[in-house]
Amino acid sequence: MKHGFIKVAAASPVIKVADADYNAGKIIDCIKDAAEKGVKILVFPELSLTGCSCYDIIGHRVILEGAKEALLRVVEATRGVDMLCFVGLPVAAGSRLYSCAAAVCNGELLGLVPRTYVDGSHFAVPDEEAVEVIIGGESVTLFTDMLFENQLLPGLSVAVELGADMDAVTPPALCHALSGATVIAQMASFPETVSSTQEAELNIRFLSRRLHCGMVMAAPGKGESSTDNVFSGLCLVAENGEILASDEREDSLAVSEIDVEYMMNLRRATGAFDVGDYPHIICPWGVKEEVTALSRVFPMHPHLPRTAEELPGYCKRMLDIQVSGLVKRMEYAHLDHCVVGISGGVDSTLAVMVCAAAVAKMGLPKENVVACTLPCFGTSSRTKSNAIIVAEQLGCEVRVIDIGKAVYQHFDDIGHAHDDYSIAFENAQARERTQVLMDIANKVNGLDVGTEDLSEFVDGWCTYNGDHTSMYDVNLGLTKTQVRANVRFIADNTEDKVLKAALYDVLDCPVTPELLPIHDDQIEQKSEDAVGSYSLQDFFTHMIMIRGFAPSKTLRLAKLAYANEFTDEELIRWLTSYCKRYFSQQFKRSCLMDGPAVEAFTVSPRTGFLIPSDAENTLFLKDLEKLQ
């Protein structure tokens, strides 16, 4: 349960219809197997003790008594097992018959939750008030609205829905989630069809995303009656729109970990949960706090799709956002030229290609993109050559403007020695470039298009009022990994062999500001030597700023995502650097220019993730100290 993770499972064992004693044995075996795997929440299908295809014998006294005795066996088998299990069975209360989920934990029957939507079946609609039934000589509460709250993991509250409840126009899960349930146990009863798996996945993804919750679904398995249908045993685990685990076979078992902390962070951001008048009975459970072993995958690049098949469409979408934003801004301002500084790096390369696409969309000549390379003391022939080749192949007007003389004059004006390579030496070049670009834009009725990306704004790796500033930044909403993905996508799909070769070489070059003198025309000043891997930085941004995780939890996930690529010492070093820079560089983000967001996360001072420019990083660094 450390860091908010809870291991959950959905199980669908092969049962025998109407043989509750046999089925109890199968369920107990599943519980033992799940316990060995560290599972804390285990969900079985609806009527799992009897089978959901008993038809008219479901209410027979023999079946009811057998199911009750089988349930008591299951309850006893869980003694000493700190796991919340949901087992399905028919329960009679007076003259009414209910399809119930029995919540069992550590040798105790916590409660019975009846199905709400009965659809003309053998079962009765439950009352709005709780009733008491006797099982094993003990009184047990039967009520539709029950929340099973873990006593050790803050925010972990589990609710259950059964069978047709899942397909209702207003499913019980909605009210449960609004009342605080962060995990919904879905005990399904649908048969297998050619589209049943796809439909179930669609439903669980949509509802878990809408309700910002985890969902654990188990459908009846191969042991059900084949009289009119067959059953698949589909088991799913989902979290906030993402399917974490899936299994569909004989004796299915889908196991994964739901991040309750993440669900709570998402809900707090909306402010729409824990509201309204939804009365629930609270049942506490959980007696032992443990570290949850993680089996789910955490990708190195959370800002990109997980599969190669999704990437082309994703890149097209990102490029469309960039181009559309730039076209709208130029049309509104009655401008007909784009002016962009090209360095041969991935950011400016993407920016100039976006500019070329924008003027083409507006029906303007290709030459209306004025691509300026502004070499100075740190420019290498490799980056300069790539910048010019890309711009020329796009048909841009290329201008080569050496700013060395102007920068030296500026040094003389402010009394700065030419061999003093301090911060003023570097920043003067960046500010001179920005001045030149903006003045050219004014001359040609154009827009100075910025090239800085989201990753660089997050860590503040830009010169204030230098490359930090533009008239409109098309890369403002893209992380460095997204920028690289877009450039590679264009390189992979262009038929221009010269452009393709130049783009691949751009991708092969290290990220560099090129502000310090070079020797033997070799790139020596590398950004990632100062701020760390941009892949890591983007991972940190996703976990700390987007998901709201502590640095200690972020480190744990980084170790899983990057495996042996970085040592623990390196991860801690760059994570510490990230936490320091994120706070100290906020003043640069407080006055950013306009630019389109690509994801839901941005650092725009108008609509983005905002912090004060003088906030302290003390608590973040204190959390990191636990790891050293």
* pLDDT, the chain, mean: 93
The residue among 70, 169, 164, 178 whose CA lies nearest residue 125 is: 164
Residue 134's beta-bridge partner residues? 139
The Cα 101–Cα 494 span in angstroms is 58
* In the predicted structure, residue 333 carries a pLDDT above the cut 60: yes
- Looking at the DSSP bridge assignments, the partners of residue 218 are 187, 235
Q: Is 536 left (phi over 0), alpha (psi -120 to 50) or beta?
A: alpha
Backbone angles phi, psi at 597, to 5 degrees: -75, 145
Q: Which two tokens stand for residue 30?
A: 């599943």
What digits encode the pLDDT tens for the residues 379-404?
778 888 899 999 999 999 999 999 99
Query: Measured between alpha carbons, how far is 606 from 609 in angstroms, rounded to an integer?
Result: 9
pLDDT value of position 463 = 93
- Check whether 525 has a pLDDT greater than 60: no
Percent of the chain past pLDDT 70, that is, above it, reads 96
Sheet holding 131-135, edge to edge: 131-135, 138-142, 108-114, 96-105, 84-93, 41-43, 5-12, 252-259
* Statement: the pTM of the whole predicted model exceeds 0.85: yes
Residue 157 · residue 148 · CB < 8 Å: yes
Q: Which residues, including other chains, have CB under 8 Å from residue 441's CB and lie 6 or more apart?
A: 337, 339, 447, 448, 471
Query: Which residue in the block uniquely carries the two structure tokens 């997050």?
Result: 458
The least confident of 55-64, 283-292, 319-328 is: 283-292
Residue 294, classified by CB atoms within 10 Å of its CB into exposed (0-12), middle (13-18) or buried (19+), is middle
- Nearest-10 crossing angle of helices 346-361, 311-332: 60
Q: In this predicted structure, what is the pLDDT of residue 514? A: 56
Decide if 97 contacts 59 (C-beta within 8 A). Answer: yes
**Which percentage of the chain shows pLDDT scores above 90?**
81
Tens of pLDDT along 88-124? Answer: 999 999 889 999 999 999 999 999 999 999 877 789 9
280: left (phi over 0), alpha (psi -120 to 50) or beta: beta
Q: How far apart are CA 557 and CA 544, in angstroms?
A: 11
- Render 510-541 in DSSP notation, one character per residue: PP----S--BTTB----HHHHH--HHHHHHHI
User: What backbone phi and psi angles, to 5 degrees, belong to 110?
Assistant: -75, -30
Count of all residues that appear for the chain in the document: 628
Question: In angstroms, rounded to a whole number, what is the distance separating the alpha carbons of residues 319 and 568?
Answer: 36
**CA distances to 45, 173, 220, 252, 361 from 255, in Å:** 15, 21, 17, 10, 49
297-to-150, 406, 516, 603 alpha-carbon distances in Å: 25, 52, 41, 27
Residues 222, 226, 232, CA angle at the centre, nearest 5°?
A: 30
Find out whether 19 and 31 touch, Cβ atoms under 8 Å.
Answer: no
The one-character DSSP state at 542 is I
> Is residue 527 over pLDDT 80?
no
Bridge partners, 177 (sequence order): none
State the angle between helix axes of 480-493 and 346-361 in degrees (0 to 180), rounded to the nearest 10: 60
Residue in the structure block whose two tokens are 């020329």 = 392
Least confident segment among 287-301, 390-404, 590-604: 287-301
Closest CA to 620 of 571, 589, 582, 590: 582
At 477, the pLDDT band (50, 70, 90 cuts) reads: very high
Q: In what order do the strands lie in the sheet with 235-239?
A: 242-247, 235-239, 214-218, 183-187, 157-162, 146-150, 281-285
What is 2-285's CATH number? 3.60.110.10
- Which own/partner pairs from 324-327 qualify as long-range (CB within 8 Å, at least 24 positions apart)? 324/596, 325/472, 325/474, 325/595, 325/596, 326/354, 326/355, 326/358, 326/447, 326/449, 326/472, 326/474, 327/358, 327/361, 327/362
DSSP H/E element including 162: strand 157-162
**Residues 183 and 157: beta-carbon distance below 8 Å:** yes
Q: 515: pLDDT confidence band, cut at 50, 70 and 90?
A: low
Q: Answer for the pair 589, 457: CB distance below 8 angstroms, yes or no.
A: yes
Structure tokens at 289: 């706090």
Instruction: Give the start-to-end residue ranges of the domains of the chain.
Output: 2-285, 311-625
The string of DSSP codes covering 583-615 is HHTHHHHTT-----BSSS----TTTS----TT-
Phi, psi of 355 (to 5 degrees): -60, -45
pLDDT at 274 over 60: yes
pLDDT at site 393: 97
- Our CA angle for 535, 541, 547, nearest 5°, is 130
246-250, 302-306, 382-386, 451-455: least confidently modelled range: 382-386
Q: ∠ at Cα 473 (469, 474), nearest 5°?
A: 160
pLDDT of 216 higher than 90 = yes
| DSSP count for the chain of H helices, then E strands | 19, 20
Q: What is the mean pLDDT of the segment spanning 332-343? A: 97
How many whole angstroms separate alpha carbon 354 and alpha carbon 24?
Answer: 63
Hey, what CATH topology would domain 311-625 get?
A: Rossmann fold (3.40.50)
Lowest-confidence segment of 250-254, 375-379, 551-555 by average pLDDT = 375-379
